[in-house]
Structure 1
């Protein structure tokens, strides 16, 4: 079943579905399509995971698009930093209870 067929049937693609499609697009050098799909995924409220990030970074690196690869890497770093601070803040609150 194709992506469009899934949606027509009322099935909602999840992060794993998007990861598969983004990875396939990146492996075939269709990075613009992969980025557009990434944007759609995020716009629907789905969160990219490490698989999503790796697919994009690998795709950009294969095409020698290092600025774009670094931008994705920086996004991961920013997300991890934010999550670390959220966890740390929650842990500190727990100590005060």
Structure 2
């Protein structure tokens, strides 16, 4: 990853010596906030450097750390790298939650990888997690975009079978075949 020396220096100098001198050390919450900030600035390399700094300092990376990094790299289109982060997270025994699954499915659908997004949905089933209406909306919209109306309506039926109530976004997708990006992202945040 091409990361400028100046940016690396900024990340390394992020915690002032004065802060450390008075005995205040950055913790998991501080690091996660900063990683989220770098992700929001689309500077995933800096976010990854902070994660490595956390590990070097013995501060454990948690679900929020990984979900935020995965989200950033998926948005950047680095699906394989995000997949490696996901595998690393699972390898450490960190269990994904609904937010992590929403991030994965949303990004995979945006990249046209509906088959992989459905595999994530299957993983949720194996973990006895009920997908949200947002997750179903994302998948339904993805299949509408691909012209696979049969699968879109099958997913809608599956959502109903699970006892989930379609919302206005669901109906907009089914009636107009449209899915506004703002509707999707408003409910799925890593923060």
Taking structure 1 as the reference length, the TM-score comes to: 0.78
> In structure 2, the residue corresponding to 1:37 is in which secondary structure?
helix
- Which portions of structure 1, spanning 4 or more consecutive aligned residues, are displaced by more than 6 angstroms? none
Q: Which has the higher helix share?
A: 1
Which residue of 2 is the match for residue 94 of structure 1?
Answer: none
Where does structure 1 lack aligned partners over 5 or more consecutive residues?
A: 82-97
Q: CA RMSD in A?
A: 1.2
Aligned to 1:88: none
Residue in structure 1 matched with residue 122 of structure 2 by the alignment: 74
How far did 1:24 drift? 0.8
Structure of greater Rg: 2
What are the superposed Cα offsets for residues 30-79 of structure 1, whole Å, 9 maximum, x if unpaired?
11111110100000011011111111111111110111000001111221
| Greater length-normalized contact order (CA 8 Å, ≥ 6 residues apart) | 1
Aligned-partner SS, 1:80: coil
CA distance in 2, matches of 1:26, 1:73: 17
The normalised TM-score by structure 2 is 0.41
The aligned length equals 81
